[in-house]
Amino acid sequence: MGDAVRRLEARLGVRLLHRTTRSVTPTDAGARLLERITPALGEVRAALDVVNDFRDRPAGRLRLNVPTAAARLVLPHIVPPFLAKYPDICLEVTAEERIVDVVAEGFDAGVRYEEWLEKDMVAVPIGPRVQRFAAAAAPEYLSRRGRPTHPHELLEHACLRWRFSNGPLLPWEFARNGKTVKVEPKGPLVAGFGGTTELAVDAAVAGCGIIYLFEDWLRPHIDRGALVPVLQPWWLSFSGPFLYYPSRRHLPAPLRAFVDFVKSAPPATTTTAPGPSRTRPGS
């Protein structure tokens, strides 16, 4: 690929890439060229994908951009049976909290919550239609510090918090009987959502404090007694995620197969009955 770009630079008489020992970034000319040819490359890919219509089963690469929670809690129930049904499809999944333009960054589709969906996209429900946050702590912590009975009492507890990327710390939101309560508790640990979220879970299991996270993420620890639910009547529910993709006449065969598979899957459910609903986590 590097030799091909150098040959193109020699032919055009313009440098397209800045090259250092640590990175390669496009020049202004390279960025403009990439901007212009990306739609054309997409059309070429779509044209070549027509060949898939003559196969017994679809083949090719499918690239998805999803939030970490979907990669951990939603896709594990979908991906294995999908790959078993379509062994010639290579699924590439990128999990991150950054909101991306899936088309501009070369993804076929994404998974996001409703208010983060891009406009002019087709959205298909994927995974549970209602999810919930759960507050929990280790038995040892609760025996030492006591059990909170109202969200405001969290201000007197050690709480293990997380943030999306480099954004602000999100308040903990609870709801009961139409009443919403937001608190910003303090604690000994702040984890970045995604790569270090499991560190916060491990710290909660070790007795460092109270954690407030997706119920399905904490459920295995709750079921085996390593964590004990607290403030359960106040747990916040929110609507589940969507698979979204560009609205276009011809979908690549791997994406079309995935969309059809998701649509045909039985509706996923939450582990327990939902409480008052919101549109997304952290709202």
DSSP 53-87: GGSSS--EEEEEEE-HHHHHHTGGGTHHHHHHH-T
Q: Which residues pair with 109 in a beta bridge?
A: 64
Over residues 73-114, the pLDDT tens digits come to 999 999 999 999 999 999 999 998 888 888 888 899 999 988
Apex 244 CA angle, 238 and 247, nearest 5? 140
Asked if 280 contacts 131 with a C-beta cutoff of 8 angstroms, the reply is: no
One digit per residue, pLDDT tens: the chain, 283 residues? 567 777 877 877 888 777 776 767 788 887 787 777 766 655 655 555 555 554 557 999 999 999 999 999 999 999 999 999 999 999 999 998 888 888 888 899 999 988 777 778 899 999 999 999 999 999 999 999 999 999 999 999 999 998 877 678 889 999 999 999 999 999 999 998 887 999 999 999 999 999 999 999 999 999 999 999 999 999 999 999 999 998 866 789 999 999 999 999 876 654 444 444 454 554 4
Per DSSP, helices labelled H in the chain are 2-12, 28-49, 68-73, 79-85, 139-145, 197-205, 215-223, 253-264
Quote the pLDDT of residue 56.
Answer: 58
Tokens 């983060």 appear where? 116
Quote the pLDDT of residue 156.
Answer: 97
Per-residue burial over 18-29, b if 16 or more Cβ lie within 10 Å, else e, is eeeeeeeeeeee
Query: What does pTM read for this prediction?
Result: 0.75
Q: Compute the distance between CA of residue 114 and CA of residue 238 in angstroms, rounded to an integer.
A: 10
Tokens of 34: 């990439």
Of 266, 270, 211, 268, nearest to 238 by C-alpha is 270
Q: What is the dihedral of CA 190, 196, 198, 199, to 10 degrees?
A: -60
Domains of the chain, with CATH numbers? Answer: 1-54 (1.10.10.10), 55-128+240-267 (3.40.190.10), 130-238 (3.40.190.290)
Q: Compute the distance between CA of residue 243 and CA of residue 103 in angstroms, rounded to an integer.
A: 14
Tokens of 51: 């060949």
Which amino acid type is present at position 186? K
